[in-house]
């Protein structure tokens, strides 16, 4: 549906990658052992940005701040690299800003994306 609102294919792909990573984190970590749970998505489209807020009632992050999202040492042997852990790097690299808040029993993750012009420049 983002294409219907004039977003470029590249912008749509970026949003899709980031939301997939964030949703996967919620399912794997916030709702671990819960069986099932709801995830809300609220999106606000502005002329130069898209802001998406994901909300869930799963477990809070173990730390009061988001993971740094650093890449592991790429000089290490391939079999020594971790299987996962690249998600926060992708999320932080592909967004303008990321905010997390725990409000009573609800997690809120807000992701803000810069939107490029159709010609490839930024608005």
β pairing state of 106-114 and 49-56: antiparallel
Q: How would you write the pLDDT of the chain (123 residues) with one tens digit per residue?
A: 888 988 999 999 999 999 999 999 999 989 988 778 999 999 999 999 999 999 999 999 988 788 887 776 666 666 655 555 678 999 999 999 999 999 999 999 999 999 977 655 554
What fold does the segment set 3-114 form as a domain?
Heat Shock Protein 90 (3.30.565)
B/e letters for 22-61, b = 16+ CB within 10 Å, e = fewer, are beebbbeebbeeeeeeebeeeeeeeeeebbbbbbbebbeb
pTM above 0.95, yes or no: no
């Amino acid at each position: 549906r983002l294409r219907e609102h004039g977003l470029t294919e590249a912008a749509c792909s970026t949003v899709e990658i980031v939301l997939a990573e964030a949703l996967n984190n919620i399912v794997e970590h916030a709702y671990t052992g819960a069986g099932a749970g709801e995830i809300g998505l609220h999106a606000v489209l502005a002329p130069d940005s898209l802001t998406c807020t994901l909300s869930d009632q799963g477990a809070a992050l173990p730390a009061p701040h988001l993971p740094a999202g650093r890449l592991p040492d790429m000089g290490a042997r391939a079999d020594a690299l971790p299987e996962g852990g690249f998600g926060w790097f992708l999320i932080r690299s592909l967004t303008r800003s990321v905010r997390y808040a725990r409000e009573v029993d609800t997690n809120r993750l807000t992701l803000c994306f810069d939107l490029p012009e159709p010609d490839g420049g930024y608005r």
